[in-house]
């Protein structure tokens, strides 16, 4: 009986009886299943390559129908809360910009650029981003403070076109119809009204370099560098169709405008004092010149739009209604750890009031919420049993940590492994010695050291102490003459700290680093971490190392008990 030769696939080693078909090649075989698998791999790689090579389609504003100002206003309102007049100004200016691009040169329309002025966090940059998204145009956001006049250290202004072309995916036509938002443009202002013998290469020099660019001209730049090189290949771009938007807080401009209004008797001092937030809406070219902009540079911005400080109602709307709501952002962040976030109405109100005190607009909301959620985000990656997080007004105030719950809604215990160290800024060397000796415990995750370098005599320092103590097991004070001579420490921080530590059941130890009259303070009532008859400063280096070692052991024992 003749033996039948069995063919095997050279890739998966399956026999011809285990598959539908085996295809033979020169000294190699492949089955139908491996062929199908190879086709799937090639299809996936082709789809990925197509996705990478696919260029985003942008509007051609020379052929596109100009957007109606009312439509554009509605699109901007989806993102920017308040600032009604500013959104109308921008909507009309953009409509005019589109019209000019369609009839360029036919009627001699002047180029239109926008200048957005107002306090930080009021929505200037966000409006530029919303504008680009609504119009489907490439947007490059650049920082005016990085530029210098050609030939000096720093970036040349022509480098902004490299950024715009990158956003446009290399599409030059799209870039020439795009938007460039120049942030911090107020920092280009002349610093003094007095003439200077030195050249202002990062202020007036940059203003001078931007004049022709803002007016509309052919500009060449190096696509590989932000600096000019004589031997480099240059790329040309025409700025006629580019919409330039300048933005800045213009600190001090409000006073300049108010003085002019009173001086020219357009408003009385009482009227000016009654509406401080609306003074900037009266700003004009002469005010910008008085602020420090060159007359010809200020004239390049034909539309000046003022942003008002955000009110409490505006901040509430930002938290509740906008796509970029800080609360929604944190809900998305926590969802990555399979944790739901709930923020109560009381917490929202507390966030708003604290953001108002920060005087940073929407950025103040982010700052306060970041501070509130810091410890939660620190903990979540290490805990798989946390499924929901509740933040109320007490959590925002720093009175207690956020409530963390498991899948069944039961509170999750939070490990208290933090060592809180209080010290005087002048005793930083002693702090370094202590944290160095605690290093092995920190690296082994036995302790998590937090020292109060963030605490400053501001409105929010109590919140920082509360948040730190919420996960603290032991608090250590480095006592010295500098520590006791600090008015803020002895009169404000120390009494509040001791009271808050008692409320949180935090053990308190103290270390006498130098001789001082500690007996006259509440510190004497607490346990010392070493023999206070000999301050650390009086010990030789070898004995001081031994003393630090005993102190660290005492801290570890207190944290574990």
Specify binding-site residues for Zn(2+): 9, 12, 31, 34
Distance CA 546, CA 275 (A): 65
Distance CA 320, CA 118 (A): 23
Distance CA 384, CA 374 (A): 18
Report yes or no: 141 and 125 within 8 Å, Cβ to Cβ: yes
Phi and psi torsions of 61, nearest 5°: -70, -15
Report yes or no: 93 and 112 within 8 Å, Cβ to Cβ: yes
Report yes or no: 111 and 299 within 8 Å, Cβ to Cβ: no
Helices and strands: H and E segment counts in the chain: 23, 17
Token reading at 490:
């002895």
User: Vertex 286, ends 285 and 292: CA angle to 5°?
Assistant: 95
Please state, in angstroms and as integers, the Cα–Cα distance from residue 384 to each residue in 339, 370, 381, 405, 470, following that order.
Answer: 9, 22, 8, 11, 21
Please state, in angstroms and as integers, the Cα–Cα distance from residue 559 to each residue in 366, 423, 465, 501, 556, following that order.
Answer: 33, 19, 18, 14, 5
Distance CA 143, CA 159 (A): 11
Neighbour count for residue 384 (Cβ, 10 Å): 11
Distance CA 214, CA 245 (A): 10
Looking up tokens 């910009």, which residue turns up? 97
Considering Cα of 95, then 98, then 102, then 104, what sign does the dihedral take?
Answer: positive
36-71 per-residue burial string, b: 16 or more CB within 10 A, e: under 16: eeeeeeeeeeeeeeeeeeeeeebbebeebebbebee
Neighbour count for residue 458 (Cβ, 10 Å): 11
Report yes or no: 142 and 166 within 8 Å, Cβ to Cβ: no
Burial class (CB in 10 A: 0-12, 13-18, 19+), 191: exposed
DSSP state of 191: S
Q: Specify binding-site residues.
A: 9, 12, 31, 34
- Strand pairing class (403-405; 388-391): antiparallel
- Strand pairing class (403-405; 418-422): unpaired
In sequence order, what E strands does 297-371 have? 303-306, 340-343
**What HEC string does 417-467 produce?**
CEEEEECCHHHHHHHHHHHHHCHHHHHCCCCEEEECCCCCCCCCHHHHHHH
Distance CA 225, CA 124 (A): 28
């Amino acid at each position: 009986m003749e033996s039948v030769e069995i063919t095997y696939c050279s890739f998966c080693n399956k026999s011809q009886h285990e598959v539908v078909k085996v295809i033979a090649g020169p000294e190699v075989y492949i089955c139908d299943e491996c062929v199908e698998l190879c086709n799937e791999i090639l299809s996936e790689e082709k789809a990925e390559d197509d996705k990478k090579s696919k260029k985003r389609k942008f509007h051609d504003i020379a052929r596109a129908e100009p957007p109606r100002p009312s439509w554009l206003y509605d699109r901007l309102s989806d993102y920017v809360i308040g600032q009604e007049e500013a959104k109308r100004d921008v909507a009309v200016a953009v409509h005019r910009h589109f019209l000019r691009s369609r009839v360029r040169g036919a009627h001699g329309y002047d180029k239109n650029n926008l200048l957005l002025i107002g306090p930080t966090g009021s929505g200037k940059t966000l409006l530029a981003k919303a504008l680009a998204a609504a119009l489907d145009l490439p947007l490059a956001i650049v920082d005016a403070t990085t530029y210098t006049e050609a030939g000096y250290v720093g970036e040349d202004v022509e480098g902004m076109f490299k950024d715009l072309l990158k956003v446009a995916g290399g599409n030059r036509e799209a870039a020439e119809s795009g938007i460039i938002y120049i942030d911090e443009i107020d920092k280009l202002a002349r610093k003094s009204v007095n003439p200077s013998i030195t050249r202002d290469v990062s202020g007036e020099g940059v203003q001078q370099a931007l004049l022709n660019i803002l007016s509309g001209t052919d500009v060449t730049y190096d696509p590989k560098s932000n600096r000019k090189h004589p031997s480099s290949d240059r790329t040309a771009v025409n700025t006629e169709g580019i919409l330039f938007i300048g933005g800045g807080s213009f600190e001090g401009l409000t006073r300049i405008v108010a003085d002019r209004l009173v001086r020219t008797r357009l408003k009385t001092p009482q009227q000016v004092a009654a509406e401080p937030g609306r003074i900037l809406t009266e700003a004009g070219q002469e005010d910008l010149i008085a602020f420090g902009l060159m007359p010809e540079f200020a004239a390049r911005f034909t539309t000046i739009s003022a942003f008002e400080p955000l009110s409490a109602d505006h901040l509430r709307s930002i938290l509740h209604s906008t796509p970029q709501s800080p609360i929604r952002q944190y809900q998305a962040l926590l969802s990555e750890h399979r944790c739901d976030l709930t923020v109560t109405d009381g917490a929202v109100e507390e966030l708003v009031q604290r953001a108002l005190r920060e005087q940073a607009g929407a950025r103040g909301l982010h700052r306060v919420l970041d501070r509130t959620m810091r410890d939660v985000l620190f903990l979540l990656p290490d805990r798989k049993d946390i499924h929901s997080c509740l933040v109320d007004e007490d959590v925002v105030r720093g009175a207690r940590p956020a409530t963390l719950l498991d899948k069944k809604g039961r509170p999750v215990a939070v490990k208290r492994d933090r060592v809180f160290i209080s010290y005087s800024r002048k005793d930083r060397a002693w702090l370094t010695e202590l944290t160095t000796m605690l290093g092995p415990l920190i690296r082994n995750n036995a302790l998590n050291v937090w020292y109060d370098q963030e605490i400053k005599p501001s409105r929010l320092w109590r919140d920082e102490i509360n948040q730190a103590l919420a996960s603290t097991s032991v608090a250590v004070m480095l006592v010295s003459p500098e520590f006791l001579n600090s008015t803020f420490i002895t009169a404000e921080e120390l009494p509040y700290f001791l009271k808050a530590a008692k409320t949180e059941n935090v053990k308190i130890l103290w270390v006498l680093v130098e001789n001082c009259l500690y007996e006259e303070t509440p510190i004497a009532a607490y346990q010392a971490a070493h023999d206070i008859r000999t301050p650390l400063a009086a010990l030789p280096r070898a004995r001081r190392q031994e003393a630090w070692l005993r102190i660290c052991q005492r801290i570890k024992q207190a944290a574990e008990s």
